[in-house]
Chain A
């Protein structure tokens, strides 16, 4: 007779093969859902199985937005606690809020420009210092990639390309399962032609930024 005592903690390597999970978070209006769709579409084009969860609703009214992407044998679109392979954060404190999905080896890539909640003066807690956030994250996680995404987006021609800066940055990490070129072609499937050039530039800028870290 076999006991289930220890076995429930052991994972089935066959099921976990080619698994990659990405948690994306930020504030409504930053292009988070579009970014996630482009990744998912890219994964599908590469013949991978992919599922994604997105929460809509109050997103246009300044609330937090997050999506979860799971590539691999999964049927459910929610990432288990401490199980994200990558977190892409569009806003610093939203990254901190997502840390229950992170483990020590999660790639945590984020934009350092804060969006202060509009009701901050009536809240008990202050907005934390960005440098301190980065320092604490670096103490606790092996792969922290803070980048000034807003700056790179403006250089690419429009602040709205922030999402492609961060996505380009993600493709520079060698664990990321979809190549930069495949992401660019998925972007073209999902955005209007007149926006392509600007967003290619944004993807390249983000990509170069992370390459310079490595």
Chain B
């Protein structure tokens, strides 16, 4: 994708866009002025694109230190009259939640949209929480797109509604929607909304920036939620929601099947669905002639009670298809109870559809097959409900594949080696973990007496053999607080690992806590000069900001010293001997020892490799330590010989330093 395409002024032009690209186009069309995020899959690409396009689109964009700050940057933008946009992965909203929930009370003056990207089946996350709950918790409207076109359209719709009702709006996507590509028809770019208004400020300085500036009109009664004000604000919020319920929206729509052949089934059934689940429902209903209507919900909070009531009141039964939690299902059950309707609901709560993980066309088809197998033999729908109620809870296997018929073929499939992600060749994390493990071995500390408190980043891959350097993990920054907790709870050796970006995100307060409370653990900050896991975004430790401009570089070392740490060392992890020595001292230290291992990520573009390594077969004893203990993807065994793939090798020399026969040297052609 050549990004400039997203700037096109051609209304009606069609582009084949990723959901995240469509979100950026939506922001551009809506005339966003302020955007902020902390990177997280599956929403990362939105930020990566804004990094390149912000200046072309009159958008101020930053990679904030964490999602809570991003939320605050965007909330103040919106209250100052600028359309503002924040986006984050689902667990990011947990971090932002403290400010997020109060944004509903404070309200906005210009549109504010919060895109949360959920991750059903946890392709790249620590949990599969359903962020639609947050809409209910905060009393903030939520939209659920099903494809890239809808993401773009709902961005614009979201800004308009947000502005009209002076309340933020959530757009909830899932991995399948954010990472879906589809045809998107471009709309008009609203150039007037975010027109730059560079003016002289109070200090007679020309504010020469590429984005529009707003003005914050004071009103403490509305913007300072002290208890007296908050009580009034909550009341106003409830009244706002009542108004929002009254609006007609085009986002909730009935899809009638193309083929009505089988409308005369003995029970009158239909489907209510949203997001990705709607796509599966639509395809299965139409492909297999189920002949039932689908109500697609795009606007799911405040729940469209009137539309749903109208849709279900003459039905015998309704299927509810949604990912992940049974939220719509419970809303429908409430409507049925409230209006004393007679119809039955078939969803997750009565074991018709699986309760967790993402859906797929196969899962939906199989669930329907199961349903109709039972429905065919029953003449009273209540009996079907009883039968499903008595079934065991339905949980699909995480990665379910049917067996193939041919035995030889099936054996081949079932006995394939797997291909887990690993540390790249030249990754400084490998060098660090190798040194840590070597230190523990040299000090004769039993492995089960060492607790590795891990964090969120590439280094979590240390969980895999041969390193196994992840024993406990909760969330961003948790390695530091966990280190402190374990040091109070046990007498084991505690080694905490956190990345540079994660340290800035949530590692600083627990570090202060640990030092103040006299904890004893070794904290390693793996400073690889980027936010690597999500694709290499800048962070405050670098001299560049979210729009590529120069910015002050914040020193992790000074933060550690300023937090009161008395043992702070900055080392290059590629120097194995020095690294081991430093770890030995850190382990002896009675307190929180901070080691900052500083070396750039092997994936940073533009880094030239200076050398490549090769095996000296005269010296190699074939001990396989470099293959089995170091586990570098550039080193493998071919035809019973150890070989180094010189294209893949980054020349980090960790193998040279660890080889006890000194059989790995710099490749001649690189000398």
Contacts and interface: CB of A to CB of B under 8 A. Distances in A.
A45 B34 CA distance: 34
B258 A128 contact: no
A75 interface: yes
Given A4-B262, A61-B424, A117-B417, A75 B279 contact: yes
Contact of A122 (B360, B406, B628): B628
B631 A118 contact: yes
Interface stretch (B57-65, B173-181, B328-336): B173-181
A8 B417 contact: no
Given A41-B16, A44-B16, A64-B419, A78 B360 contact: yes
A96 interface: yes
B342 to A, nearest CB: 20
Given A96-B412, A140-B409, A55 B633 contact: no
A62 B420 CA distance: 7
Interface in B390-414: 401-402, 404, 406, 408-409, 412-413
Chain A interface size, as a band, is: 35 or more
Given A12-B259, A122-B466, A75 B287 contact: no
B375 A53 contact: no
Interface in B1-59: 1-2, 14, 16, 18, 41-42, 45
Interface in A54-106: 54-58, 60-64, 73-81, 93-94, 96-97, 99-100
Interface residues of B, number: 79
B372 interface: yes
Contact of B147 (A2, A44, A51, A126): A51
Interface in A99-144: 99-100, 116-123, 125-128, 132-133, 136-137, 139-140
A3 B376 contact: yes
Interface stretch (B349-357, B362-370, B433-441, B550-558): B362-370
Contacts of A52: 16, 180-182
Contacts of A41: 16
Contact of A139 (B406, B535, B636): B406
Contacts of A118: 422, 631-633, 636
Contacts of A116: 636
Contacts of B266: 1
B469 to A, nearest CB: 15
B287 A16 contact: yes
B244 interface: no
Contacts of A99: 404, 409, 413
Contact of B289 (A12, A100, A125): A12
B282 interface: yes
Contact of A63 (B14, B18, B421): B421
Nearest to A39: B16
A76 B359 CA distance: 11
B286 interface: yes
A27 interface: yes
Nearest to A27: B419
A136 B412 contact: yes
B290 A8 contact: yes
Interface string B143-168: 00011000000000000000000000
B606 to A, nearest CB: 16
Given A9-B288, A15-B286, A122-B465, A56 B422 contact: no
Interface of B: 1-2, 14, 16, 18, 41-42, 45, 123-124, 146-147, 175-176, 179-183, 258-259, 262, 264-266, 276, 278-280, 282-283, 286-290, 360-362, 365, 368-369, 372-373, 375-376, 401-402, 404, 406, 408-409, 412-413, 415-424, 458, 461, 464-466, 535, 603, 624, 627-628, 631-633, 636-637
By Cβ-Cβ distance, the 5 closest A-B pairs, closest first, are A118-B633, A76-B279, A58-B421, A63-B421, A61-B421
10 contacts: A1-B266, A49-B183, A56-B41, A61-B458, A61-B461, A74-B279, A93-B419, A123-B418, A140-B406, A190-B2
